[in-house]
Amino acid sequence: MEWTEESVFDEIRAVISKHKIKDPNEIHRHSNLFEELAFDSLDVLDLQAELSERFALDLSDDDGSNKFTVQDILNSVVAALERKQSNPDTSEALAGA
């Protein structure tokens, strides 16, 4: 599967929905992780760990301190996927799990 920004967003929404038992249709790009989705800083790190595994990316160098909205998470994952794609040592750039 090749990842598009929309498919990445859908995956992020599914992970958040699973963790917070929330209807995925209530999770939007502008949703604030802390105020609207009841995340704490540990939840953000757990989310990043799960997304790292799901997208086969290393997001561990990002401490999550600048992630306030779903869009912030999306931007981080998309940027990591683009870096992976541009890295000549990577054989399956943007490949889905």
Q: Give the DSSP H or E segment for 49.
A: helix 41-55
pTM score, two decimals?
Answer: 0.81
Report the pLDDT value the prediction gives residue 61, as an integer from 0 to 100: 63
Which residues of the chain are modeled with pLDDT < 70?
1, 60-65, 88-97
Parse the chain into domains and list their residue ranges: 5-86
Is CATH 1.10.1200.10 the right assignment for the domain spanning 5-86?
yes
* Average pLDDT over the chain, rounded to an integer: 84
Give the number of other Cβ atoms within 10 Å of residue 38's Cβ. Answer: 11
The burial class, CB within 10 Å (0-12 / 13-18 / 19+), for 60 is exposed
Report the pLDDT value the prediction gives residue 60, as an integer from 0 to 100: 67
Give the number of other Cβ atoms within 10 Å of residue 89's Cβ. Answer: 5
Report the pLDDT value the prediction gives residue 63, as an integer from 0 to 100: 55
DSSP secondary structure string, 4-45? -HHHHHHHHHHHHHHHHT--GGG--TT-BTTTTS---HHHHH
Report the pLDDT value the prediction gives residue 66, as an integer from 0 to 100: 73
